[in-house]
Amino acid sequence: MKPSIALIAMVFVALTPLSLQAAGPSVPLDQVEVDVTDQTSLQRGARMFFNYCVGCHSAEYMRYNRLGRDLGLTENQVAESLIFTTDEQGEPVGTGSLITNAMMPVYAKEAFGVVPPDLTLVSRVRGEDWLYTFLRSFYLDDSRPLGVNNAVYANVGMPNPLWELQGWQEKQVGADGETHLQVVEAGSLSGPEYDRAIRDLVTFLAYLGEPMQIDRQRIGMYVLAFLFVFLVLAYLLKKEYWKDVH
Ligand code: HEC
């Protein structure tokens, strides 16, 4: 039986990495370097995430206590500074809980037109540069229901949750004839400070998408050390076995 062209084409499509399909943004993305082993950056990013994002988004493939362990926080610190969600009895959820959010999907749909997606794996779907640029590209736009739009994600349903930090931007045509986003009303952070805060947040999202990457490097060193010791032992053993043969 000959496989049909359609079948071969389907296999090709299935094998194409997701990131390739999601690529091709109309605006060039700003590059960001994140270091998930930088624990203080991760902690600052986590603080932003829990202050500004979990009201709408969940990260429900991650538990609070795992997060606390990886970020160097005690159980108490996790309970006091990260947990804002409560259970049916109104008690704060335990540190073993998944990071869900309190917003009812029905309400979210009414308010934003779409349910805010879970963000656990968003860094793997969108990539770090996309997130970094997206979170810095909100601008005022009267034609939108919430009065804001985004240069990277046109007609996005999300308002800018960080406007107090960034201020408000507008689209303006610069002297070079290109459109730029220009801050027209300052926020509490300067431009470079805001960029740094977003880098921390993206670092946290990158960690969230693949928590093992923190341990991978350390484990890799142990594995190499083990292989080296094993190599020496194997060599000595080989010498021992072959010494009478010659
Ligand atoms: C007021 C509610 C709200 C808050 C707060 C909020 N978001 Fe959103 N977010 C949304 C909604 C709604 C969407 C879906 C937008 C759409 O698809 O049009 C969204 C979409 C996104 C997306 C795009 C996901 C994708 O791949 O399509 C990212 C990334 C994101 N949010 C990150 C964040 C981060 C980071 C924060 C915290 C700084 C945050 N959001 C805070 C409502 C919110």
Residue range 177-204, pLDDT digits in tens:
888 899 999 999 999 999 999 999 999 9
d(CA 54, ligand 1 centre) in Å = 10
Nearest ligand 1 atom to the CA of 156 is 18
d(CA 27, ligand 1 centre) in Å = 19
Q: Would you say residue 101 has pLDDT above 90?
A: no
> Residue 26's pLDDT band (boundaries 50, 70, 90)?
low
d(CA 122, ligand 1 centre) in Å = 10
Nearest ligand 1 atom to the CA of 131 is 29
> Can you read off the two tokens belonging to residue 88?
């049916």
Q: What is the mean pLDDT of residues 84-98?
A: 86
d(CA 146, ligand 1 centre) in Å = 13
Cα–Cα distance, 85 to 91 (Å, whole number): 8
Residue with CA nearest ligand 1 atom 6? 53
d(CA 134, ligand 1 centre) in Å = 10
Q: Would you say residue 23 has pLDDT above 80?
A: no
d(CA 183, ligand 1 centre) in Å = 21
d(CA 172, ligand 1 centre) in Å = 24
Q: Would you say residue 104 has pLDDT above 80?
A: no
Q: What is the pLDDT of residues 42-67, one digit of tens each?
A: 999 999 999 999 989 999 999 999 99
Domain ranges for the chain, please list them. Answer: 28-211
pLDDT at 169: 96
Q: Would you say residue 92 has pLDDT above 60?
A: yes
Nearest ligand 1 atom to the CA of 159 is 1
Nearest ligand 1 atom to the CA of 155 is 18
Cα–Cα distance, 241 to 235 (Å, whole number): 10
Q: Would you say residue 10 has pLDDT above 80?
A: no
pLDDT at 57: 94
The length of the chain in residues reads 246
pLDDT at 91: 86
d(CA 117, ligand 1 centre) in Å = 7
Cα–Cα distance, 151 to 138 (Å, whole number): 7
Cα–Cα distance, 226 to 197 (Å, whole number): 39
Q: What is the mean pLDDT of residues 131-155?
A: 95
CB count within 10 Å of CB 202 equals 25
Mean pLDDT for the chain overall? 89
Helix 213-242 × helix 191-209 angle, to 10°: 50
> Residue 14's pLDDT band (boundaries 50, 70, 90)?
confident
Residue from 57, 99, 115 whose mutation best tests the ligand 1 pocket (most atoms within 8 A of CB): 57
Which of the two residues, 171 and 25, has the higher pLDDT score? 171
Q: Would you say residue 22 has pLDDT above 70?
A: no
Q: What is the pLDDT of residues 204-244, one digit of tens each?
A: 999 999 999 988 888 999 999 999 999 999 999 999 999 98
Task: Enumerate residues lining ligand 1, CB below 6 A.
Answer: 52-53, 55-57, 112, 114, 116-117, 119, 122, 125-126, 131, 134-135, 156-159, 161-162, 201
Q: Decide yes or no: CATH 1.10.760.10 for domain 28-211.
A: yes
**% of the chain surpassing 90 pLDDT:** 67
> Can you read off the two tokens belonging to residue 179?
């459109």
> Residue 36's pLDDT band (boundaries 50, 70, 90)?
very high
Q: Would you say residue 19 has pLDDT above 60?
A: no
DSSP result, 188-239:
SS-HHHHHHHHHHHHHHHHHHH-TTHHHHHHHHHHHHHHHHHHHHHHHHHHH
